[in-house]
Amino acid sequence: METTAKAAPLSGPMTMNAWLSAAHGDSSGLWFESLLAQLAFPQAFVWGDLAAIGMADNQAAERYFSSSEHDRRSIIGNPGTEFLFGGGGLLHAWPANPTDNEYTHVRTSKVQTLLIGGSLDFATPPQAATKELLPYLPNGHQVILAGLGHTTSIWSEQTKASTHLMTTYFDTGKVDDSLYKPQAV
């Protein structure tokens, strides 16, 4: 999910390195990541939390698990999605609430809003915010930061630039991402 070493131990570069090493006969990196996932995922949540929160994404998850998209797995699979939804088994584990559909549609908001995303964010791609959220924010602005991933890289890679972007926006309403420097992946 992350694109930098600061996101370790489960970073994108580590996963790619593990795949490349496995292709050359050393699968220890994939074993290590598998072990870390088994230790980290179950300890990261409160029992029942996933089923309750998952109801917010239930319609999208139902489409995913019932479509042929689910059958066309990527070469590294979808272990996070499979885990979070119990392979689709959690879709109906939490009772539906009559008001659930009330919160499945984005409502227009005139509140000044700044959407910040990294161009390498595979968990919440900025293109999704551009397409699905920004049209409902007439006073919204979006910044897509090249070479950065999800939250860890945005908040830890170029902290002065991030602080400047947000404080300038909060103080003046202007978007100023001028302190960001191009970053190699």
Residue 13's alpha-carbon distances to 40, 81, 117, in angstroms, are 19, 20, 19
Worst-scoring range by mean pLDDT, 69-78, 132-141, 147-156, 162-171?
69-78
pLDDT computed for residue 46 by the predictor: 63
pTM of the model: 0.59
The model's pLDDT over 16-32, given as tens digits with 9 standing for 90+, comes to 788 888 889 888 888 88
Q: Is the pLDDT assigned to residue 4 strictly greater than 60?
A: no
Q: Which comes out higher in pLDDT, residue 138 or 67? A: 138
- pLDDT tens for each residue of 35-51: 776 666 666 666 666 66
Task: Residue 18: count other Cβ atoms within 10 Å of its Cβ.
Answer: 20
Select from 104, 102, 173, 110 the least CA-distant residue to 136.
110
Q: What is the distance between the alpha carbons of residues 160 and 155, in angstroms, rounded to a whole number?
A: 9
Judge contact between 183 and 147, C-beta under 8 A.
Answer: yes
Give me the percent of the chain exceeding a pLDDT of 70.
74
Going from N- to C-terminal start, the domains of the chain cover 5-92, 113-172
Q: What is the pLDDT of residues 155-171, one digit of tens each?
A: 888 999 999 999 999 99
